[in-house]
Amino acid sequence: MTEKKDVTILAIESSCDDTSAAVIRNESILSNVVAGQKVHEEYGGVVPELASRAHQQHIIPVVDKAIKEANVKREEIDAIAFTRGPGLLGSLLVGTSFAKGFALASNIPMVEVNHLQGHVLAHFIQEEGEEHKAPEFPFLCLLVSGGNSQIIVVRDHLDMEVIGQTIDDAAGEAFDKCAKVMGLPYPGGPLIDKLAKQGNPDRFQFSKPRIAGLDYSFSGLKTSFLYFLRDQLKENPDFIDENKEDICASLQKTIIDILLNKLIKAAKETGIKEVTVAGGVSANSGLRDGLTEEAKKRGWNLFIPKFAYTTDNAAMIAITGYYRYMKGEFVDQSVAPYARMVING
- Altogether, the residues listed in the chain come to a count of 345
Task: Using alpha carbons, list the distances in angstroms from residue 298 to 141, 256, 268, 269.
Answer: 16, 17, 10, 13
Interface segment toward ligand KG4; rule CB under 6 A; list 50-58, 123-131, 143-151, 335-343:
143-151
Measured from the CB of residue 7, what is the shortest distance to ligand KG4 in angstroms?
Answer: 26
Q: Is residue 176 a contact point for ligand KG4 (CB under 6 A)?
A: yes
169 is an interface residue for ligand KG4 by CB under 6 A: no
Kindly indicate which of the ranges 54-62, 103-111, 142-150, 225-233 contains the residues binding ligand KG4, using the contact rule CB under 6 A. Answer: 142-150
* Minimum CB distance to ligand KG4, residue 148 (Å): 7
Strands 126-127 and 139-144: unpaired
DSSP 8-state class, residue 309:
G
Q: Is 147 in the site for ligand KG4 (CB under 6 A)?
A: yes
DSSP codes joined into one string, 16-62:
SS-EEEEEEETTEEEEEEEE--GGGGGGTS--HHHHHHHHHHHHHHH
H or E, element range at 275? strand 274-278
146 binds ligand KG4 (CB under 6 A): yes
Q: Which residues face 21 on adjacent strands?
A: 12, 33
By CB under 6 A, residue 305 contacts ligand KG4: no
Counting contacts by CB under 6 A, is residue 187 touching ligand KG4? Answer: yes
The answer to whether residues 59 and 14 touch, using CB atoms and an 8 Å cutoff, is: yes
Report the distance separating Cα 94 and Cα 81, nearest Å: 13
Task: Rank residues 246 and 312 by Cβ distance to ligand KG4 and give the closer one.
Answer: 312
DSSP calls for 184-246:
PPSS-HHHHHHHHTTS-TTSS-------STT-B--HHHHHHHHHHHHHHHHH-TTHHHHHHHH
Nearer to ligand KG4, 135 or 190 (CB): 190
> Is 313 strand, coil or helix?
coil
Q: For residues 206 and 221, is the Cβ–Cβ distance under 8 A?
A: yes
Q: Which of residues 282-301 bind ligand KG4 (CB under 6 A)?
A: 283-284
Residue 77 vs 319, nearer CB to ligand KG4: 319
Residue number, 78 or 312, with CB nearest to ligand KG4: 312
User: Site size for ligand KG4, by CB under 6 A?
Assistant: 19
Out of 117, 145, 217, 250, the residue judged to bind ligand KG4 by CB under 6 A: 145
Residue 85 makes contact with ligand KG4 by CB under 6 A: no
Residue at shortest CB range from ligand KG4: 280
**One residue of 16, 113, 141, 151 binding ligand KG4 per CB under 6 A:** 16
* Alpha-carbon gap, residue 338 to 88, rounded angstroms: 9
Q: Largest Cα–Cα distance of the chain, in whole Å?
A: 78
Of the pair 135, 305, the CB lying nearest ligand KG4 is at 305
Q: Quick one: 16 or 103, whose CB is closer to ligand KG4?
A: 16
> Is residue 311 a contact point for ligand KG4 (CB under 6 A)?
yes
246 binds ligand KG4 (CB under 6 A): no
DSSP 124: G
Q: What residues from 262 to 281 belong to the interface with ligand KG4 (CB under 6 A)?
A: 279-281
* Contact (Cβ atoms closer than 8 angstroms) between residue 177 and residue 184: no
Least separation in angstroms between CB 129 and ligand KG4: 27
**193 touches ligand KG4 by CB under 6 A:** yes
86 binds ligand KG4 (CB under 6 A): no
Binding site for ligand KG4 (CB under 6 A): 16, 145-147, 172, 175-176, 187-190, 193, 279-281, 283-284, 311-312
